[in-house]
Structure 1
Amino acid sequence: MKVLFIGGTGNISTASSKLAIKKGIDLYHFNRGQSTVEISGVKTIIGDIKKPNELEELKKHTWDVVVNWIAFIPEDIENDIKLFKGKTKQYIFISSASCYQTPLSYPIITESTPLKNNLWEYSNDKIKCEDLLVKTYREEDFPIIIVRPSYTYDTVIPIAIGGFDEYTTVDRILKGKEIIIHGDGTSLWTVTHADDFAIGLVGLLGLTQAIGHAFHITSDEVLTWNMIYKILAESVNCEAKVVHISSDFICKMEPSFTGGLLGDKSESVIFDNSKIKTFVPGFKATISFAEGIKRTLKWLDENPDKKIVNSDTNAKIDAILRVYKAL
């Protein structure tokens, strides 16, 4: 099976690339060749998917599957449809579980949960991408599959403030500084390790009966945000000094947090993974957050240049704490 990953060396996609190679898939990456990640067995075509003059080598190929890990806006999808229509048997768009209805009208999320998120431009753009793909599938038989990850991590820290590609909140914990947990910390959340996600994603490659369907692929482990931060702090052998502040107050003080917080992480989410388990019977998420975050922190210790402490984020956290305590 000849598969193209557009991207393929990122936080989520690296694990899927490694598993695809392990499964004997003939895997190509199309990217700018700037990543330091090396995956033995992958054939790389150098180019920028957003630059038409760098696509000539790509146009020479036909594919069993194309997976775009880095499409974010409808224009990206429009370009892919033109490029791959008639050139692939399957096109997989990596969307986001943040596209689901916000706020939720029913707490259990299935693939039939409505898509509606007007609080985060990122999610709204992903919804527009999905709408365009579904329309093209219905009207032109473009062979789509939509995959919605939910805060999937490997080399990033999956927390609400001062994390992801930053080490800011971990640094605050290590230095005994106060950190913010939104709300009272009892809302529910799901984080998924990229190695677990890869089992579901790779299982969909070449699966003809999955065409036209959407899937979320997440862990079944449900944690409160209090527990997520507690596990994180324990993983660096510290106790976090937590201040609970409402999401509304945080976002009023710092509007840049609105999308990721009010548009996503302030909601309780519980995912029903029955569909991916039906289509890919081998899918099962087995990596607990307690185990997975230790792997992430070990990787960061081995790559200290990735321990990014953002002074701007620190200033925002300190400002929010200062105003909140003065009330």
Structure 2
Amino acid sequence: MKVLFIGGTGNISTPSSRLAVNKGMDLFILNRGKAKVDIEGAHSIIGDINKPEELTELKKHEWDVVVNWIAFTPDDIERDIHLFKGKTKQYIFISSASCYQTPLSYPVITESTPLHNNLWDYSQGKIQCEDRLQKAYREEGFPITIVRPSLTYDTVIPIAIGGFNKYNTAKRILEGKEIIIHGDGTSLWTVTHSDDFAKGFVGLLGLQTAIGHAFHITSDEVLTWNMIYKILADALGKEAKVVHIASDFICKVEPSFTGTLLADKAESVLFNNSKIKSFVPGFKATIPFSEGIKRTVKWLKENPAHQYIDEDTEAKIENVLKAYKRL
């Protein structure tokens, strides 16, 4: 099976790339060559998908599956439909679980939960992409499958403030500084290791019964945010000095946190994974956060260049803490 990944060397996609190769797929990875990640056994195409006129290599192939890991706007989708219509048997768009109804009217999310999030431009863009793809599927037979990851991690720290590709909160824990947990920390969330995500995702590649369908792929482990931060602190070998601050207050002081809080992580969410399990029999997430985050912390210690401290984020954390204490 000949598969094209547009992207394929990021936090979520790298384990999927490696698993696809291990499963015997003929994998081609198109990217700009900036990520220093080697996927042994995959073919590399160096280029920019936004400059398709320069991608002569793409014109030589027809694909069983095309996956775009880095499409964010309807223009990206229009470009891909033009490039791959009649050239692939399946086109997989990586959307986001942040597209689901916000705020939720019912806390258990299935793939039929409405898509509605007016609080975050990122989510709105993904919803618009899905809308365009559904139209292409209905009217033109463009063979789509949509995948909606939630908070998925491997080489990043999956927390709400000062994490993901930033090392700010981890460093604050290590230095004994105060960190922020939104709300009272008792709302529920799910974090998923990229290796677990890959098991479900790779099972969808080339699966013709998945055409026209959408899936989310997450762990079944449910944790409070208090537990997520405690487990992170334990992995760092320190005790976190926590300050609980209401999400509304955080976003009033620093509106730039709205996307990661009010638009995504401020309320409890439970994912029903029945659909991916029915289409990919045997899929099961097996890496608990307590194990997965230790891997992440170990990787970051071994790769200190990725311990990125964003000074703007640091200033915003301090500003929120000061504003809260002034009350």
Q: Give the superposition deviation at 1:310.
A: 1.6
Pairing 1:273-288 to 2, within 5 Å after superposition = 273-288=273-288
Report the AA paired with residue 23 of structure 2: K
- Structure 2 counterpart SS, 1:165: coil
What is the DSSP-based 3-state SS (H/G/I as helix, E as strand, rest coil) of the residue aligned with 2:29?
A: strand
1:216 paired with 2:216, answer yes
Instruction: Report the Cα distance in structure 1 between the residues aligned to 2:284 and 2:136, rounded to whole angstroms.
Output: 31
Residue identity in the other structure for 1:265: K
Q: Which residue of 2 aligns with 1:180?
A: 180
- Percent identity, aligned pairs only, is 76
* Deviation of 1:286 (Å): 0.3
Q: Which residue identity is paired with 2:96?
A: S
Alignment-derived partner of residue 101 in structure 1:
101
Task: Compute the displacement of 1:96 (Å).
Answer: 0.3
Match of 1:263 in 2: 263
Residue of structure 1 equivalent to 2:52: 52
Aligned position for 2:110: 110
TM-score by length of 2: 0.99
TM-score when scaled to structure 1?
Answer: 0.99
Cα RMSD (Å) of the superposition? 0.6
Deviations 1:231-289 (A, max 9, x none): 00011111100000000000000011011110001021100000000000121000000
1:55 is displaced (CA, Å) by 2.1
Structure 2 counterpart of 1:266, one-letter code? A
Secondary structure at 1:259 match in 2: coil
SS of the residue 2:244 aligns to: strand
Distance 2:260 2:318 in 1: 19
Amino acid at match of 2:44: T
Question: Counterpart of 2:150?
Answer: 150
| 1:65-105 deviations in Å (ceiling 9; x for gaps) | 00000000010000000000000000000000000000000
Distance, in Å, in 2 between the alignment partners of 1:78 and 1:32 is 20
Unaligned runs of 5+ in 1: none
Structure 2 counterpart of 1:246:
246
Give the 3-state SS of the residue equivalent to 1:34 in structure 2: coil
Once the two structures are superposed, residues 85-128 of structure 1 have per-residue CA deviations (whole angstroms, 9 ceiling, x without a partner) of 00000000000000000000011000000000000000010000
- Rounded to whole Å, the distance in 1 between the matches of 2:214 and 2:15 is 21
User: What secondary structure sits across from 2:38 in the alignment?
Assistant: coil
Q: Give 4+ residue runs of structure 1 displaced > 3 Å after superposition.
A: none
The gaps in structure 2 that reach 5 residues or longer are none
1:14 aligns to what?
14
Output the amino acid matched with 1:45: I
Q: Quick one: which amino acid aligns to residue 175 of structure 1?
A: E
Aligned-partner SS, 1:49:
coil
Counterpart of 2:57 in 1: which secondary structure? helix
Instruction: Output the amino acid matched with 1:168.
Output: N
Give the aligned partner of residue 121 of structure 1: 121
**3-state DSSP class of the match of 1:102?**
coil
1:209 to partner: Cα distance: 0.5
| Equivalent pair of 1:199/1:282 in contact (CA under 8 Å) | no
Q: Secondary structure at the match of 2:300?
A: helix
Question: What is the DSSP-based 3-state SS (H/G/I as helix, E as strand, rest coil) of the residue aligned with 2:216?
Answer: strand
1:140 aligns with 140
